[in-house]
Structure 1
Amino acid sequence: MDPDFEPTYLRLHRSGELKKRGGELWNMMQSCELCPRKCGINRLDGNEGFCEASSQLEISSHHPHFGEEKPLVGKGGSGTIFFTNCGLRCVFCINWEISQGGIGRPRSIEDMAEMMLNLQKMGCHNINLVTPTHYSPHIVLAVDMAVGKGLRLPLVYNTCGWERLEILKKLDGIIDIYLPDLKYSDGKMAAKYSSEAETYPEVTKAALLEMHRQVGVAKPASDGLMYRGLMIRHLVMPNGVSGARKVIEWIAENLPKDTYLNIMSQYRPMYKAFEYPEISRRITRQEYHEALRWAKEAGLTNLDIQGYPL
């Protein structure tokens, strides 16, 4: 742990702002607008939104995770909390049992605070919040509670990227590391494979710019760990479905050239992907190499490259 690191959420906790923002987010569940679907369901009355979440927090698992990006994993692992349900609902989701199958258990905000503290005691380097958007009120309130009991780890907001600016601004000063996907460059592809989320490209691009404004470029500290910054993921999909070239070019044109970009090669057909022939196979070596070439031609210098080495 970098001895000079102090999470920005400490100041917000001391001033009472952290609890205040948690309450503001909580009230938004009365006619839910936490994600870009803005389904308007009153989750506080026990109703479920499009994401299939009510106001009851549900968590699938929490544990040290060693399969994330190296600057998040270190030696102690990333302290991952997997939230049940999701507002994007992709047909190829690798964690579909959790995101769409409802696997998880009801938990209290106090439970989540204790989970974070336990992950810290286990030696994890951060708290990694996976698919957090629909439970952002619970997260902020749990962080406030955990900070009062000694939580000091950086918070990782591990998101599909499809985020409302209004919600992100309420997370300003709370989240240390944003870890968003930029899944598609074409809204038609997003609509087809992610439950009619046609606004995905434009909304996510605006979200990434706001994330960068808040936390800046992600660069490891002297201990090799990441404590702050924007870390973008792009999953290369077969047959050009993800629009990798346009995604990469947009990043190069709108963010610093040293923006952290993980070009991911591990797509494999899961869940309902076999119902769509064009995404019913893994990517080829050539498809991945093309994405790497486009990134280098665009001048991006902070690439996390996986598999299929050149």
Structure 2
Amino acid sequence: MTKCTLCPHDCGVERPESDGAPGTLGWCRMPWRPRAARAALHQWEEPCISGTTGGSGTVFFSGCTLQCVFCQNSEISRDGKGREVTAADLRRIYRELIGQGAHNINLVTPTHFLPTILASLEPKLPVPVVYNCGGYEKVETLRQLEGKVQIYLPDLKYVSEEAAWRYSHAKDYFATATSAIREMFRQTGPYAMDEETGLLKKGVIIRHMILPGQLEDSKKVIDWVAENFGPGQVLFSLMRQYVPCGLAKQGQYPEIGRPLSEEEYQEVEDYLFQSPIEDGFVQEAGSADSQFIPAFDGTGVKEQLTISRRQCYN
């Protein structure tokens, strides 16, 4: 078995090949074989990702290298809900989503499954690949994706070491995530849009979701983006969709156990509009609603596994 050092935690454990096999689970709590909980057209990404017709062909993977206490996808990121898939399964899932009209293939929290992900992306897909992650990535790992990923969609969650440690147990989050974002930009270069469709062809979108009571940290995130990237280089997405989820909803973190207020959001949005950042997105107030959290019910994964097994027996 191979020791895992894919993410910044550098667990070094020999992960099991699949559920029930010998080995030790690391920070991500996952075996090597990917586990996916949903594969479907997703309409709620940034407009240049979801578009206005087909949607983003999104595959939600289980487990995560961060385990944030407020995660909106906690039933898969922390609780591990999902089904095991192979590279061949993933390839079939991609083809099915593209056939349904997906503008891109959007891989959500895929890093801990990188070997299988890399195999699934050969040969090159006819639509862009979106690498949708929490930002806590190793540069050495990202370099393996060069030429295979056209769009990076990382979070930049914190500047504060205290917040990063309390909510994601990753004290080095800011230094690690900013190094990762620079590597992502090195790979893609300045973003490029399709002028006819308004869809993103390549580039980096940096996401930041405002947490209740963490406004000064949000402003520092905006400052870093403004200081490190000029107009036309990256897109910045300011997110107001926070609702208490996961452990934050259970009362263990009372300071973030409430929705973001309109006043809090407005203060950060005003700060963004006063900054040099020109390219990006903001969200409407209605985005802070649990109805926008997908149902992790095996949609698109269950069907593909059924097809796969049927093909094996015929």
TM-score when normalising by structure 2: 0.84
**AA of the residue aligned to 1:70:** P
Given candidates 234, 245, 252, the residue that maps to 1:270 is 245
Following TM superposition, by how much is the alpha carbon of 1:113 offset from its aligned partner in structure 2, in angstroms? 0.8
**AA of the residue aligned to 1:202:** A
Following TM superposition, by how much is the alpha carbon of 1:188 offset from its aligned partner in structure 2, in angstroms? 1.3
Stretch of structure 1 that moved more, 152-161 or 53-62: 53-62
Following TM superposition, by how much is the alpha carbon of 1:163 offset from its aligned partner in structure 2, in angstroms? 0.4
Q: Is the 8 A contact 1:82 1:130 kept in 2?
A: yes
Partner-residue secondary structure (3-state), 1:31: coil
**C-alpha distance in 2, partners of 1:303/1:64?**
22
Could you list the per-position Cα deviations for residues 80-136 of structure 1 after superposition, in whole angstroms to 9, with x for gaps in the alignment?
Answer: 000011110011000000111111011111101110111111110000000011011
Partner-residue secondary structure (3-state), 2:193: coil
User: Residue 215 of structure 1 aligns with which residue?
Assistant: 188
User: Residue 287 of structure 1 aligns with which residue?
Assistant: 264
Length, aligned pairs only: 276
Partner-residue secondary structure (3-state), 1:275: coil
**AA of the residue aligned to 2:68:** C
**C-alpha distance in 1, partners of 2:216/2:23?**
36
Stretch of structure 1 that moved more, 29-38 or 103-112: 29-38
User: Residue 202 of structure 1 aligns with which residue?
Assistant: 175
Partner-residue secondary structure (3-state), 2:246: coil
Following TM superposition, by how much is the alpha carbon of 1:242 offset from its aligned partner in structure 2, in angstroms? 7.5
1:1-310 residue pairs with structure 2 within 5 A?
30-43=2-15, 44=17, 46-74=23-51, 75-144=53-122, 147=124, 151-194=125-168, 196-222=169-195, 223-240=197-214, 243-258=217-232, 259-273=234-248, 274-308=251-285
Following TM superposition, by how much is the alpha carbon of 1:141 offset from its aligned partner in structure 2, in angstroms? 0.3
**C-alpha distance in 1, partners of 2:243/2:190?**
30
**C-alpha distance in 2, partners of 1:31/1:117?**
32
**C-alpha distance in 1, partners of 2:161/2:190?**
27
Percent identity, aligned pairs only, is: 39
**C-alpha distance in 2, partners of 1:291/1:283?**
11
**C-alpha distance in 2, partners of 1:99/1:109?**
20
Q: Which has the higher contact order (CA 8 A, sep 6+)?
A: 2
Stretch of structure 1 that moved more, 214-223 or 123-132: 214-223
Following TM superposition, by how much is the alpha carbon of 1:293 offset from its aligned partner in structure 2, in angstroms? 1.9
Following TM superposition, by how much is the alpha carbon of 1:192 offset from its aligned partner in structure 2, in angstroms? 0.4
Following TM superposition, by how much is the alpha carbon of 1:68 offset from its aligned partner in structure 2, in angstroms? 0.9
**C-alpha distance in 1, partners of 2:140/2:203?**
19
Q: Is the 8 A contact 2:215 2:268 kept in 1?
A: no
**C-alpha distance in 2, partners of 1:218/1:232?**
12
**C-alpha distance in 2, partners of 1:284/1:307?**
13
**AA of the residue aligned to 1:215:** T
**C-alpha distance in 1, partners of 2:266/2:189?**
28
**AA of the residue aligned to 1:64:** L
Could you list the per-position Cα deviations for residues 181-211 of structure 1 after superposition, in whole angstroms to 9, with x for gaps in the alignment?
Answer: 00011111111011x2101011001111111
**C-alpha distance in 2, partners of 1:34/1:65?**
27
Q: Is the 8 A contact 1:189 1:242 kept in 2?
A: no
Could you tell me which runs of 5 or more consecutive residues in structure 2 were left unpaired when the two chains were aligned: 287-314
Q: Which runs of 4+ in 1 moved over 6 A?
A: none
